Structure 1
Amino acid sequence: MRHDKRSRQSLIQEIITQQAVQTQEELSEILAAKGMPATQATISRDIKELGLIKVPYQDTHRYALPDDHVLGATRDRLRRLLREVLTGYTVSENLVVVKTLTAGAEVVSEAIDKMDWPEVVGTLAGENTVLVVARSKDDAPRLASRLDELR
Protein backbone atom coordinates (compact mmCIF):
# COMPACT_ATOMS: atom_id res chain seq x y z
CA MET A 1 0.00 0.00 0.00
CA ARG A 2 1.39 3.41 -1.02
CA HIS A 3 1.34 6.15 1.60
CA ASP A 4 1.53 9.78 0.64
CA LYS A 5 4.04 12.23 2.02
CA ARG A 6 1.40 14.41 3.69
CA SER A 7 0.00 11.46 5.70
CA ARG A 8 3.47 10.27 6.68
CA GLN A 9 4.61 13.71 7.79
CA SER A 10 1.40 14.21 9.74
CA LEU A 11 1.99 10.88 11.48
CA ILE A 12 5.59 11.87 12.26
CA GLN A 13 4.38 15.08 13.89
CA GLU A 14 1.84 13.11 15.91
CA ILE A 15 4.45 10.56 17.01
CA ILE A 16 7.03 13.08 18.18
CA THR A 17 4.48 15.06 20.17
CA GLN A 18 3.22 11.93 21.93
CA GLN A 19 6.50 10.18 22.73
CA ALA A 20 10.22 10.79 23.01
CA VAL A 21 11.85 9.80 19.73
CA GLN A 22 15.62 10.09 19.86
CA THR A 23 16.85 8.70 16.53
CA GLN A 24 15.78 8.33 12.91
CA GLU A 25 16.03 4.57 13.35
CA GLU A 26 13.58 4.70 16.26
CA LEU A 27 11.22 6.85 14.20
CA SER A 28 11.49 4.38 11.32
CA GLU A 29 10.55 1.49 13.62
CA ILE A 30 7.54 3.36 15.02
CA LEU A 31 6.33 4.30 11.53
CA ALA A 32 6.64 0.69 10.38
CA ALA A 33 4.75 -0.53 13.47
CA LYS A 34 1.97 1.91 12.59
CA GLY A 35 1.78 0.50 9.06
CA MET A 36 3.68 3.27 7.30
CA PRO A 37 7.22 2.05 6.61
CA ALA A 38 9.71 4.54 5.16
CA THR A 39 13.37 4.46 4.18
CA GLN A 40 16.00 6.29 6.22
CA ALA A 41 16.47 8.75 3.35
CA THR A 42 12.74 9.52 3.30
CA ILE A 43 12.65 10.01 7.06
CA SER A 44 15.69 12.26 6.91
CA ARG A 45 14.02 14.37 4.20
CA ASP A 46 10.76 14.52 6.21
CA ILE A 47 12.63 15.68 9.32
CA LYS A 48 14.26 18.46 7.30
CA GLU A 49 11.03 19.52 5.58
CA LEU A 50 9.09 19.53 8.86
CA GLY A 51 11.84 21.62 10.44
CA LEU A 52 12.13 19.20 13.35
CA ILE A 53 14.72 20.06 15.95
CA LYS A 54 16.56 18.08 18.62
CA VAL A 55 15.84 19.27 22.15
CA PRO A 56 17.37 18.14 25.45
CA TYR A 57 15.62 15.14 26.98
CA GLN A 58 16.81 13.46 30.17
CA ASP A 59 20.51 12.82 29.48
CA THR A 60 20.20 12.87 25.69
CA HIS A 61 18.07 14.57 22.98
CA ARG A 62 14.75 13.94 21.26
CA TYR A 63 12.99 15.25 18.15
CA ALA A 64 10.51 18.09 18.59
CA LEU A 65 8.50 20.49 16.49
CA PRO A 66 10.12 23.90 16.17
CA ASP A 67 8.96 26.44 18.73
CA ASP A 68 6.05 28.32 17.20
CA HIS A 69 7.22 31.48 18.93
CA VAL A 70 10.54 31.63 17.13
CA LEU A 71 9.44 34.05 14.43
CA GLY A 72 12.92 34.47 12.95
CA ALA A 73 13.26 30.74 12.33
CA THR A 74 9.77 30.64 10.85
CA ARG A 75 10.61 33.55 8.55
CA ASP A 76 13.83 31.82 7.44
CA ARG A 77 11.97 28.55 6.88
CA LEU A 78 9.25 30.31 4.87
CA ARG A 79 11.88 32.12 2.80
CA ARG A 80 13.61 28.80 2.00
CA LEU A 81 10.30 27.13 1.19
CA LEU A 82 9.20 29.94 -1.09
CA ARG A 83 12.48 29.91 -2.97
CA GLU A 84 12.21 26.15 -3.43
CA VAL A 85 8.52 25.60 -4.17
CA LEU A 86 6.70 28.84 -5.06
CA THR A 87 5.89 29.07 -8.75
CA GLY A 88 3.63 32.13 -8.66
CA TYR A 89 0.61 33.79 -7.12
CA THR A 90 -2.47 35.75 -8.12
CA VAL A 91 -4.35 38.39 -6.14
CA SER A 92 -8.15 38.54 -6.50
CA GLU A 93 -10.27 40.71 -4.23
CA ASN A 94 -9.34 39.60 -0.69
CA LEU A 95 -7.70 36.35 -1.81
CA VAL A 96 -4.16 35.42 -2.75
CA VAL A 97 -3.85 32.15 -4.66
CA VAL A 98 -0.32 30.81 -4.24
CA LYS A 99 0.89 28.15 -6.69
CA THR A 100 3.64 25.73 -5.64
CA LEU A 101 5.43 22.70 -6.95
CA THR A 102 3.58 19.42 -6.35
CA ALA A 103 3.27 18.62 -2.62
CA GLY A 104 4.57 22.06 -1.61
CA ALA A 105 1.31 23.71 -0.69
CA GLU A 106 0.79 22.23 2.77
CA VAL A 107 4.16 23.29 4.16
CA VAL A 108 3.87 26.76 2.62
CA SER A 109 0.37 27.11 4.09
CA GLU A 110 1.59 26.09 7.54
CA ALA A 111 4.54 28.47 7.34
CA ILE A 112 2.25 31.38 6.36
CA ASP A 113 -0.05 30.53 9.25
CA LYS A 114 2.89 30.53 11.66
CA MET A 115 3.99 33.97 10.46
CA ASP A 116 0.88 35.32 12.21
CA TRP A 117 0.53 38.21 9.77
CA PRO A 118 -2.35 40.51 10.78
CA GLU A 119 -3.68 40.60 7.20
CA VAL A 120 -4.26 36.82 7.10
CA VAL A 121 -7.57 35.34 8.18
CA GLY A 122 -6.40 31.83 7.28
CA THR A 123 -5.05 29.50 4.64
CA LEU A 124 -6.28 26.40 2.86
CA ALA A 125 -3.86 24.06 1.12
CA GLY A 126 -4.29 21.56 -1.66
CA GLU A 127 -1.53 19.62 -3.37
CA ASN A 128 0.02 22.55 -5.26
CA THR A 129 -2.17 25.53 -4.39
CA VAL A 130 -2.60 27.60 -1.23
CA LEU A 131 -5.61 29.85 -0.82
CA VAL A 132 -4.71 32.71 1.51
CA VAL A 133 -7.73 34.65 2.76
CA ALA A 134 -6.96 38.28 3.57
CA ARG A 135 -9.05 40.41 5.92
CA SER A 136 -9.89 42.89 3.17
CA LYS A 137 -9.32 43.75 -0.50
CA ASP A 138 -6.67 46.24 0.65
CA ASP A 139 -4.81 43.57 2.62
CA ALA A 140 -4.41 41.11 -0.28
CA PRO A 141 -1.83 43.23 -2.17
CA ARG A 142 0.07 43.69 1.12
CA LEU A 143 0.20 39.91 1.46
CA ALA A 144 1.57 39.66 -2.07
CA SER A 145 4.26 42.20 -1.14
CA ARG A 146 5.18 40.15 1.93
CA LEU A 147 5.59 37.08 -0.30
CA ASP A 148 7.80 39.08 -2.68
CA GLU A 149 9.97 40.28 0.23
CA LEU A 150 10.56 36.71 1.37
CA ARG A 151 11.57 35.38 -2.07
Structure 2
Amino acid sequence: MNKAGRHDLIKAMIRQEKIGRQTDIQQGLEARGVVGTQTTLSRDLRELGVIKIHENGRSFYSLAIEEERVNFIQLLAQYAYKVDRASFILVLHSELGEAALMANIIDAEKPETILGTLAGANTLLVICRDDVAAQQVEAEINYYLN
Protein backbone atom coordinates (compact mmCIF):
# COMPACT_ATOMS: atom_id res chain seq x y z
CA MET A 1 0.00 0.00 0.00
CA ASN A 2 1.28 3.47 -0.82
CA LYS A 3 1.71 6.33 1.65
CA ALA A 4 -1.58 8.08 0.79
CA GLY A 5 -3.52 4.85 1.25
CA ARG A 6 -1.77 4.17 4.55
CA HIS A 7 -2.57 7.72 5.73
CA ASP A 8 -6.24 7.28 4.80
CA LEU A 9 -6.35 4.01 6.72
CA ILE A 10 -4.71 5.54 9.81
CA LYS A 11 -7.16 8.48 9.74
CA ALA A 12 -10.12 6.11 9.44
CA MET A 13 -8.88 4.03 12.37
CA ILE A 14 -8.39 7.10 14.58
CA ARG A 15 -11.84 8.47 13.69
CA GLN A 16 -13.57 5.15 14.42
CA GLU A 17 -11.78 4.05 17.60
CA LYS A 18 -10.22 5.61 20.68
CA ILE A 19 -6.65 4.40 20.21
CA GLY A 20 -4.17 5.17 22.97
CA ARG A 21 -0.91 3.62 21.76
CA GLN A 22 1.09 3.50 18.55
CA THR A 23 1.37 -0.26 18.91
CA ASP A 24 -2.45 -0.47 18.73
CA ILE A 25 -2.40 1.49 15.46
CA GLN A 26 0.40 -0.70 14.13
CA GLN A 27 -1.52 -3.88 15.05
CA GLY A 28 -4.64 -2.47 13.40
CA LEU A 29 -2.69 -1.76 10.22
CA GLU A 30 -1.20 -5.25 10.24
CA ALA A 31 -4.68 -6.76 10.70
CA ARG A 32 -5.64 -4.90 7.51
CA GLY A 33 -2.61 -6.23 5.65
CA VAL A 34 -0.36 -3.17 6.00
CA VAL A 35 3.04 -3.93 7.50
CA GLY A 36 5.43 -1.12 8.44
CA THR A 37 8.00 -0.06 10.98
CA GLN A 38 7.40 1.97 14.12
CA THR A 39 9.56 4.72 12.59
CA THR A 40 7.30 4.92 9.54
CA LEU A 41 4.21 5.00 11.74
CA SER A 42 5.66 7.81 13.89
CA ARG A 43 6.42 9.81 10.75
CA ASP A 44 2.92 9.17 9.40
CA LEU A 45 1.32 10.36 12.65
CA ARG A 46 3.44 13.52 12.63
CA GLU A 47 2.63 14.25 8.97
CA LEU A 48 -1.08 13.75 9.63
CA GLY A 49 -0.97 16.20 12.56
CA VAL A 50 -2.19 13.53 14.98
CA ILE A 51 -2.19 14.57 18.62
CA LYS A 52 -3.07 12.93 21.93
CA ILE A 53 -6.00 14.28 23.88
CA HIS A 54 -7.13 13.31 27.37
CA GLU A 55 -10.64 12.32 28.37
CA ASN A 56 -11.82 10.74 31.62
CA GLY A 57 -8.29 9.88 32.71
CA ARG A 58 -7.39 8.21 29.40
CA SER A 59 -5.36 9.57 26.52
CA PHE A 60 -5.97 8.72 22.90
CA TYR A 61 -5.02 9.86 19.43
CA SER A 62 -7.08 12.44 17.59
CA LEU A 63 -6.91 14.02 14.17
CA ALA A 64 -6.18 17.51 15.30
CA ILE A 65 -5.67 19.28 12.08
CA GLU A 66 -7.99 18.79 9.16
CA GLU A 67 -6.68 20.37 5.97
CA GLU A 68 -9.14 23.27 5.96
CA ARG A 69 -8.24 24.17 9.57
CA VAL A 70 -4.45 24.25 9.22
CA ASN A 71 -4.21 27.89 8.11
CA PHE A 72 -6.76 29.00 10.72
CA ILE A 73 -4.87 27.35 13.60
CA GLN A 74 -1.47 28.46 12.28
CA LEU A 75 -2.76 32.02 12.07
CA LEU A 76 -3.94 31.92 15.69
CA ALA A 77 -0.59 30.49 16.79
CA GLN A 78 1.20 33.43 15.16
CA TYR A 79 -0.43 35.79 17.65
CA ALA A 80 -0.81 33.63 20.76
CA TYR A 81 2.22 32.82 22.86
CA LYS A 82 0.42 30.74 25.51
CA VAL A 83 -2.84 28.81 25.90
CA ASP A 84 -4.51 27.96 29.22
CA ARG A 85 -7.61 25.78 29.59
CA ALA A 86 -10.23 25.48 32.31
CA SER A 87 -12.80 22.87 31.37
CA PHE A 88 -14.43 24.07 28.12
CA ILE A 89 -12.89 27.57 28.26
CA LEU A 90 -9.56 28.57 26.73
CA VAL A 91 -7.54 31.69 27.45
CA LEU A 92 -5.17 32.69 24.66
CA HIS A 93 -2.41 35.06 25.73
CA SER A 94 -0.99 37.51 23.19
CA GLU A 95 0.91 40.76 22.92
CA LEU A 96 -0.95 43.96 23.74
CA GLY A 97 -3.67 44.72 21.17
CA GLU A 98 -3.64 41.33 19.42
CA ALA A 99 -6.50 39.61 21.29
CA ALA A 100 -9.16 41.37 19.17
CA LEU A 101 -7.32 40.27 16.04
CA MET A 102 -7.42 36.64 17.21
CA ALA A 103 -11.14 37.00 18.00
CA ASN A 104 -11.73 38.26 14.45
CA ILE A 105 -9.84 35.27 13.03
CA ILE A 106 -12.02 32.85 15.02
CA ASP A 107 -15.25 34.71 14.25
CA ALA A 108 -14.46 34.70 10.52
CA GLU A 109 -13.71 30.97 10.51
CA LYS A 110 -16.80 30.01 12.58
CA PRO A 111 -15.44 26.62 13.73
CA GLU A 112 -18.14 24.34 15.10
CA THR A 113 -16.00 23.53 18.16
CA ILE A 114 -16.06 27.18 19.32
CA LEU A 115 -19.23 28.91 20.53
CA GLY A 116 -17.81 32.42 20.95
CA THR A 117 -14.99 34.70 22.03
CA LEU A 118 -14.41 37.69 24.29
CA ALA A 119 -11.30 39.81 23.71
CA GLY A 120 -9.42 41.93 26.21
CA ALA A 121 -6.26 43.89 25.48
CA ASN A 122 -3.87 40.94 25.54
CA THR A 123 -6.02 37.90 26.39
CA LEU A 124 -8.77 36.17 24.49
CA LEU A 125 -11.44 34.10 26.21
CA VAL A 126 -12.57 31.28 23.90
CA ILE A 127 -15.71 29.38 24.86
CA CYS A 128 -15.72 25.90 23.35
CA ARG A 129 -18.66 23.56 22.85
CA ASP A 130 -17.39 21.10 25.51
CA ASP A 131 -14.27 19.86 27.32
CA VAL A 132 -13.18 17.61 24.46
CA ALA A 133 -13.47 20.45 21.93
CA ALA A 134 -11.43 22.71 24.23
CA GLN A 135 -8.73 20.03 24.58
CA GLN A 136 -8.60 19.60 20.84
CA VAL A 137 -8.32 23.32 20.06
CA GLU A 138 -5.72 23.73 22.82
CA ALA A 139 -3.67 20.83 21.44
CA GLU A 140 -3.92 22.16 17.88
CA ILE A 141 -2.64 25.60 18.87
CA ASN A 142 0.09 24.13 21.10
CA TYR A 143 1.19 21.96 18.17
CA TYR A 144 2.28 25.14 16.39
CA LEU A 145 3.50 26.99 19.49
CA ASN A 146 6.01 24.27 20.42
Question: Normalising by the residue count of structure 2, what TM-score does the alignment of the two structures yield?
Answer: 0.47
Question: Normalising by the residue count of structure 1, what TM-score does the alignment of the two structures yield?
Answer: 0.45
